[in-house]
Amino acid sequence: MNSFSVVPWIILGSSCFFAIFFQNQRPAKPKAFRGKTATQIVCSSRAYPAAPNIQKERSSQGTIRKLTSNHLTLYTDLPSTPAIDDLPQFFDLAVPEWTEYFQLPPTRLDQFHLTAYLMKDSQRFAEQKMFPKTLPDFIAGYQLGDEIWLYEQPTDYYRRHLLLHEGTHGVVKYCFGGAGPPWYSEGIAEYLATHTLTQTVSASGKVKRKISLGQMPDSNEKFLHWGRFKMLNDSKENKGVRSLDQIFAFDSKTHYRENDAYAWSWASVYFFENHPLTQKSFRKLAAKGKDRSAKFSQQFRKKHAKEWHLIQADWKVFIDHLDFGYQFAPMVITHREPTTIVTTEGRAVIAADRFWQSTGLRLEGGKRYRLQASGRYQIDTLPDIWWCEPGGVTLDYYRQRPLGQLMGILRPLSDTKILSDRSTKERRKHTDEEARTTLPPSTLFVIGTSVDITPQYDSILYCGINEKPNQWHDNHGELQILVSLIE
């Protein structure tokens, strides 16, 4: 057995857009246009055959082609390929998805139409008065009114991604008169641009295609050069984790000064969109798009004031573990206020299919406890079921710990009314907010089958098994923990 003290709970566990991903991937463009910068993310996917009903025309100069669909007119100097010629109808596939996401009346976007300029050589468009000199400098895409300008990109996926991003800007401004403050404007556009495109063929040979917006990238191969996770990891290493309030404070110039602001904006939107405490109210923010002031974010935060400390704790777990295929629901912390003060012993059951869970057991600061765990549970099904006990299995590891190993953390109680008596305030040298929302990775401790601990503060015990954030779907079962006072 190991015996040690556990230090305070600090966190549970451990439009022009985009930051410039690779300098040498910038498309060539005139140097005369100065001002706003955008970023470039490159993604890859398969190309799809051209839709049969798209009209094609050539401009009078014969160098720029015109492709049309119900909701998009596209001018391009790129040669005809299925992936290029299919873009207008691909854009049309997104319209019902935007309608559903923004909870619009079914006919609200019937008359919505954008004109897009997909350019290999912007000078050619400038010569034909399709690239105004008043446009700011941008690297990937830019939206203004009912027009969008896009530079050609290395992959079919990112070309579509860029079109959806600028298209989302167009939709919110068309429907709501604005796109809100920078974090929301860029975050929601990037969130809805991250998509999958699938097709099925019926027995009669009819091809049906489906686009899904707001997807979590599930592999590097499918979302090659997407780059968000790398940008976040680099930012965390160099600057630390951005709080939600810091992201809310992004101003109109933040995304131009700091490349990683796009990644943080995307992450915050994905988080609010999927968190059970915020999803419903977050969906309604688009209707307030005319408001670009701090009031937009302040009102959203105020609506969730009572549970904001829980949201912050989940945000830090999310950012700490975010990776390809991240499964959101099982990573949300399960909270319970303490129901049992461990004076002699206490028991709890821990599910194997989700991460941090409150045991409801309150441990007193300065006293020594023994934690003992037992049980058998499933953590994988390939090639056969992997049975696991609290010590974990060494067939695979996550963050240098055996998969399935039982871990613990302590959350100091923040309400002084339910803390133990004497000298509590003196012992607790951190603020209530810090106690509720922070935990450095070093305070996570391994329980395994047994461990002795001495909490520094009166705390609630949280437990969870060590699992990859994209592998919760095949977990099943539970384990039991016994906490005994030994001093």
Residue whose pair of structure tokens reads 């010569």 in the numeric block: 127
Burial of 52 (0-12, 13-18, 19+ CB in 10 A): exposed
* Residue located via tokens 């939600």: 244
Domain ranges within the chain, ordered by starting residue: 15-326, 330-485
Which token pair is 206? 């009819």
Query: Strand 147-151 and strand 141-144: pairing?
Result: antiparallel
CA–CA distance, 66 with 62 (Å, rounded to integer)? 10
pLDDT reported for residue 94? 98
Cα dist from 150 to 76, 105, 326, whole Å? 10, 29, 30
Tell me yes or no: is domain 15-326 CATH 1.10.390: yes
The Cα 189–Cα 186 span in angstroms is 5
List, run by run, the mean pLDDT of 10-residue segments along the chain (487 residues).
Answer: 40 39 34 31 27 38 85 96 96 97 96 97 93 89 94 91 96 95 96 92 86 93 82 94 96 84 96 97 95 95 95 95 96 88 93 96 94 96 91 93 96 54 42 46 83 93 96 95 92
Q: Give the separation between CA 463 and CA 458, rounded to whole angstroms.
A: 16
- Phi and psi for 410 in degrees, rounded to 5? -120, 130
At 92 the pLDDT is 98
Rounded Cα–Cα distance for residues 147 and 113 (Å): 9
Residues 6+ away with beta carbon under 8 Å from 423? none
Let me know if 484 is exposed, middle or buried by CB neighbors in 10 A (0-12, 13-18, 19+).
middle
- For 136, other C-beta atoms within 10 Å of its C-beta total 14
What is the reported pLDDT for 50? Answer: 31
* Contacts of residue 199, Cβ cutoff 8 Å, sequence gap at least 6: 48, 207, 208, 209, 210
312 touches 320 (CB < 8 A):
no
**Cα separation, 464 vs 338, whole angstroms:** 17
Which CATH number is 330-485 given? Answer: 2.60.120.430
**pLDDT score, position 422:** 38
Pair 481, 352: CB distance under 8 Å: no
pLDDT value, residue 203: 83
Q: Measure the CA–CA gap between 134 and 28, rounded to whole angstroms.
A: 18
Question: Which tokens hold the place of 208?
Answer: 């049906």
The separation between CA 35 and the C-alpha centre of its own chain, rounded to angstroms, equals 29
Contact 77, 56 (CB under 8 A): no
Show the tokens assigned to 34: 């100065």
Structure tokens at 453: 């601990």
Q: For residue 486, count other CB atoms closer than 10 A to its CB.
A: 11
Q: How far apart are CA 234 and CA 231, in angstroms?
A: 5
* pLDDT the model gives residue 399: 93
Query: Token digits for 128?
Result: 């034909």
In the 3-class helix/strand/coil scheme, how is 430-481 assigned residue by residue?
CCHHHHHHCCCHHHCEECCCEEEEEECCCEEEEEEECCCCCCHHHCECEEEE
Report residue 73 as tokens: 């007119």
Contact 177, 289 (CB under 8 A): yes
Backbone angles phi, psi at 268, to 5 degrees: -65, -40
Count Cα atoms within 13 angstroms, Cβ side, for 280: 4
Q: Is the dihedral of CA 267, 269, 273, 278 positive or negative?
A: positive
Distance, in Å, from the CA atom of 437 to the CA atom of 8, rounded to the nearest integer, reads 11
pLDDT on residue 266 = 97
| pLDDT (0 to 100) of residue 287 | 95
Instruction: Write down the pLDDT at residue 99.
Output: 97
CB 288 within 8 A of CB 294: no
Rounded Cα–Cα distance for residues 64 and 78 (Å): 8
Pairing assessment for the beta strands 3-6 and 450-455 based on DSSP bridges: parallel
